[in-house]
Structure 1
């Protein structure tokens, strides 16, 4: 939750939203930030500037923050407030966003700690300047639901016991073998579909990487997050130069037509995913 020793004692702490080149105070002056009783402001350190706010340290103690993490609405409120400040700064100049709830005891400690990271910040600013982050989620083409096979029904009926008249004809010889063959066929088709989905994911990722300056593959969402019966085969994010952003929507349409997959494009975002890769 905190960095460089901000604690829960009485008094104030310095909350740091982001590091920028040299933004004007007016860019963030009217933003509420994460606290209602102090303005968001700029804090120069060396050749860079931090976007900060003075907050009550007790409001960000480990105990309070852990309670906040378990309250979805409260956590979302803080996350949105944090992002709103970062977004405003990024709209004005190249910006390195810092993690949610980055705090220091006081300005002296904040400046000392941030100055020690100057080389990393400069590298991140150079990497992401005039670039945005775009998210790409790919879902496998929809396929018809598999019908329940007759042999499977027969096998289940057999396990339930003698629910039919004794003089009813017995299943034809070979019914069990046919059932097993059908099961093996279904397994083979599932494996084939998985291979096809992997090829689709790799093909889409390769095409987006041709446009992007950098890329990150994330863990695909399960059905509960992907929505209904959709199978997500790619969850990735790309760092794309602003001058090439117009290419993304067209590329998405072309890839959807060629693969049959559903592709969701989101962005542009502040490049959170790429500021640490320096």
Structure 2
């Protein structure tokens, strides 16, 4: 096991098998802050079933006090997140990868290796679950109702009544779109039951970026899909909103399995 440089911390991107694909790829990668990426695993002829993908980063930039300030810097945070993601996506294209959170840090290589040994079996179990699978995102959006239309002058009893009738029709359209979105969500769930090995329900998107769109996000799920069933899954999900007015289904991916990196929730079945 090589020693970490003096004045550094060990930054961990992901867990992966110490397989030839990872060994060959990792030296070509650049991580956070432009730091080189390496593979850390148990020394000797038997490296064990799992390895950490790491960079040595300057302690002065990544210790607790530094991070408190840096996490307030949105430009720095975006750049770090992109670099972290870039390493994980490169690995995911060639081997099974268990992504870890941004700024997962250890004091040195010895501390990181200790954590790897302590959690090695749990990591190996989670990697086995993810092997041969890919994450896809599925979002359902409600489209805005058409603008209120005033009734024709010949049929309108008064301008006020015509306006109220138009507003009522717009509200009914809006409610109908939400009902259609519920049907689309049910269809997506049925598709997932046939093709996906796992599902994580994320909160519907909100905030400034969502507010800027006329569409309303009502479903924001992630699915873990076996690679040999991905094409059928994508085709079926794309058809989930067929014939439903006022609804849009969006599929994103393939992604590294970020949503499935945590251990699965324990079963409530006896």
Bucket of the pairwise TM-score, normalised by the shorter protein: 0.7 to 0.9
Q: Deviations over 1:197-240 (max 9, x none)?
A: 32332222322332211111111123743452112221111101
How many angstroms does 1:93 deviate by?
1.8
Secondary structure class of the residue paired with 2:11: strand
Q: Which residue of 2 aligns with 1:14?
A: 10
What is the TM-score when the length of structure 1 is the normalising length? 0.76
CA distance in 1, matches of 2:243, 2:135: 24
Secondary structure class of the residue paired with 1:47: coil
8 A contact 2:140–2:181 mirrored in 1: no
8 A contact 1:151–1:179 mirrored in 2: no
Q: Which residue of 1 aligns with 2:24?
A: 26
How many angstroms does 1:191 deviate by?
5.0
Q: Which residue of 1 aligns with 2:261?
A: 275
8 A contact 1:19–1:97 mirrored in 2: yes
Secondary structure class of the residue paired with 1:245: helix
Q: 2:41 aligns with which of 44, 51, 72?
A: 44
CA distance in 2, matches of 1:141, 1:179: 22
CA distance in 2, matches of 1:223, 1:129: 34
8 A contact 1:223–1:231 mirrored in 2: no
Q: Which residue of 2 aligns with 1:89?
A: 91
Q: 2:199 aligns with which of 198, 215, 221?
A: 215
Structure 1 range deviating more: 54-63 or 194-203? 194-203
RMSD over aligned Cα atoms = 2.9
Q: Go from structure 1 to structure 2 and tell me whether the alpha carbon gap of 1:258 and 1:208 turns closer, same or farther (over 3 Å shift).
A: farther
The unaligned stretches of length 5 or more in structure 2 are 1-5, 43-47, 265-270
- Count of residues in correspondence between the two structures: 246
Secondary structure class of the residue paired with 1:98: strand
Q: Deviations over 1:18-68 (max 9, x none)?
A: 1111134331102121144x5311111343211111111111123322332
CA distance in 1, matches of 2:32, 2:146: 49
8 A contact 1:223–1:230 mirrored in 2: no
Q: Go from structure 1 to structure 2 and tell me whether the alpha carbon gap of 1:114 and 1:223 turns closer, same or farther (over 3 Å shift).
A: closer
> Which has the larger Rg?
1
